[in-house]
Structure 1
Amino acid sequence: MDFLEIDHQSALPLHAQVEDLLRKLIEKPEYQNGKLLPNEINIAKKLGISRSTVRQATNKLVYEQLLIRKKGVGTSVARNNISTKLDKWASFTHEMDEKGVVFKNYSIKVSNVVPDKEIQQLFKINPGTKVLKMERVKGLASEPIVYFVSYFHPRTGLTTDDDFSKPLYETLEKEHHIVVSVSKEGISAILADKQLSKLLSVETGAPILFRKRVVCDAGDRPIEYNLGYYRADRFTYTIDIARK
């Protein structure tokens, strides 16, 4: 075990010192790539401290979702989950940029289609009217994370000639003079079918976070109907709720 020694004479509590050592240890490539951490008994013996002190330190990192502890297996580094807050709304690209998370487009497909009845009624358009449909798969350099399907009201003026590799809402505002104002959302859990398993590189039946979003302009008129399919093992929605 490549550990630095702890200082038994330090005013810093032993569990805090162990926590610092563990934070350094899990940055090593072998642990980032899935190697199990030394067990708590061996760490305690190496450092000359109690197992409960080591457990206190590892519990802190498990709570912070930096470590995953599996009974009968061991403790390993958690893969970084992508999270987004529900108490504010921004474009996906802008929000990931703020977090310093570099996302790439795996695929972008744009077409003109006749939408289903639900979208026709939402947009208040006549049956047979075509709308712009955009499909995107986005993710980290290592793997896809999310599959988006968007339908746009004809009033947006978006066409297949627009550059959809750019942030969408910036394009709407700068190129088409439409300012989005409100997002109305619903979130549920589903299982990946064959199409999603292929697009998101998961097994059929894997858990998926499904989000349905209606984006409205400043006049509260729907301009986008968006479906998002997020890998549940790589993406988390969070919300801060104040007590009344």
Structure 2
Amino acid sequence: MLFNADRRIALDRASPVPLYYQIYRIISDYMKEPGAVGRKLPTEEAMMKVFDVSRATVRRALQALESSGQISRSRGRGTIITNNASQEQLTTIRSFTEQMRLENHVPITKVVEVKKVKAGSEMARILQVSEDEELLQVTRLRGNESYFPLALFISFLTSRSNLTGEENFEGSLYELMRNRGTAVVEGDAIIEGRLAEGRIAKLLKIEEGAPILYYERVGCTAIGEYVEFVQCWYEATHYKFRIHLTTKI
């Protein structure tokens, strides 16, 4: 069992943070303990007593944990811890902000740099623009209320994004673009394992040579215009990607 079902854990009932979310965060913290994966959570009845809340509150916390991929629930087996890392569904175009909210996290962003750069030969090839085109380069550190920084994002945006560089980049780039009439609806991505080096390691506050997940994506609009190239470096022990596979019969 992940924690003693006979103990009592006090929630802050004067806090504006919902009780279910407080339970979600407490359980998530327990999941960070070594060997947590594969262990069971107490029953709903036991957790009602542990946290002194209703069944509805417990179930909402469990639903949040399940939707973020941290637990698996099944009749007969109970509630099993599956992992303790944020995870992203690879088959869906979704911003980091949207992904964190989906997992019931509070997205946190630190804007490192916003500047304009010439596309050059490589970016011109990727984004199908001229080498002299001016791109908007946005460098940001991303994370959530439990771990920051979790990832480093460097986005290169064409003029088709309709962004000027004067916007507030602490939220979702995709939301900003949608509000300007440009929606990223599809794209191609690659993911690979790398080792943290130089500026990447320094910004992520990890040791050089530490494992990281590198992810890059080209995003385009519904009419096939390339609008974004983004490079992402994720702190490997706190993030994972998930993909749903099927077979044709």
Q: TM-score if structure 2 supplies the norm length? A: 0.66
Q: Which runs of 5+ in 2 are unaligned?
A: 7-25, 37-76
Identical-pair percentage: 25
Q: Residue in 1 aligned with 2:159? A: 154
Q: Secondary structure at the match of 1:233?
A: helix
Deviation at 1:152, TM superposition (A): 0.7
Query: Unpaired segments of 5 or more residues in structure 1?
Result: 6-25, 38-59, 67-79
Q: Show the counterpart of 1:171.
A: 176
CA distance in 2, matches of 1:3, 1:230: 33
Higher-Rg structure is 1
Kept in 1, the 8 Å contact 2:119–2:130? The answer is no
Q: Which runs of 4+ in 1 moved over 6 A?
A: none
Conserved 8 A contact 1:108-1:164 = no
Residue 144 (structure 1) aligns with: 149
In the superposition, relative to structure 1, how do residues 36 and 190 fare at CA in structure 2: closer, same or farther (>3 Å)?
Answer: closer
Out of 192, 196, 204, the residue aligned to residue 192 of structure 1 is 196
Instruction: Tell me the residue number matched to 2:123.
Output: 119
**Secondary structure in 2 matching 1:158:** coil
Superposition RMSD in Å = 2.9
CA distance in structure 2 between the partners assigned to 1:113 and 1:217 by the alignment: 22
TM-score for both structures, normalised by structure 1: 0.67
Aligned to 2:46: none
Find the partner of 1:182 among 174, 179, 186: 186
Structure 1 contact 181–220 (Cα < 8 Å) conserved? no
Q: Aligned with 2:170: secondary structure?
A: coil
Q: Which amino acid in the other structure matches residue 161 of structure 1?
A: E
Distance 2:170 2:144 in 1: 15
